[in-house]
Amino acid sequence: MANLCGCGEIAKCRTSWTQFNPGRRFLGCPSFMDPTRNCNYFRWVDAPLPNRWYQGTMYQLHINLVNAQDEVVQANNQNSQTTFYNRVLIVLIVGMFLVRFI
């Protein structure tokens, strides 16, 4: 049976990545960002993590993953910038040769 929130909508399952509840799933209102709804429906799906070691390890793994994903995005951006400037350079060099031989 689906859990309904205060608005009568089907509660959405999300995952918490806070320091004290990393990787812990919870149900919440699908429009919790909408201030006009003012729906505070919240319910944990998973039991709390057994101890601080699990909390710290799960949290650190998540932070490492987020940082690694940022680095991949930055590397891809840099790569596409480099590709762009390489193309500009090739056009300039070819252009210089053409101008020279005309």
26 binds Zn ion (CB under 5 A): no
Residue 29 or 49: which CB sits closer to Zn ion? Answer: 29
> What is the rounded distance in angstroms from the CA atom of residue 53 to the CA atom of residue 25?
18
Least distance in angstroms from the C-beta of 87 to Zn ion: 51
5 binds Zn ion (CB under 5 A): yes
Task: Decide if 72 contacts 39 (C-beta within 8 A).
Answer: no
Least distance in angstroms from the C-beta of 40 to Zn ion: 8
Least distance in angstroms from the C-beta of 13 to Zn ion: 14
- Which segment (17-25, 26-34, 76-84, 93-101) binds Zn ion by CB under 5 A? 26-34
**Nearest alpha carbon to residue 52 among 63, 44, 60:** 60
Residues 39-68 close enough to bind Zn ion by CB under 5 A: 39
7 binds Zn ion (CB under 5 A): yes
> What is the rounded distance in angstroms from the CA atom of residue 57 to the CA atom of residue 9?
34
> What is the rounded distance in angstroms from the CA atom of residue 69 to the CA atom of residue 80?
17
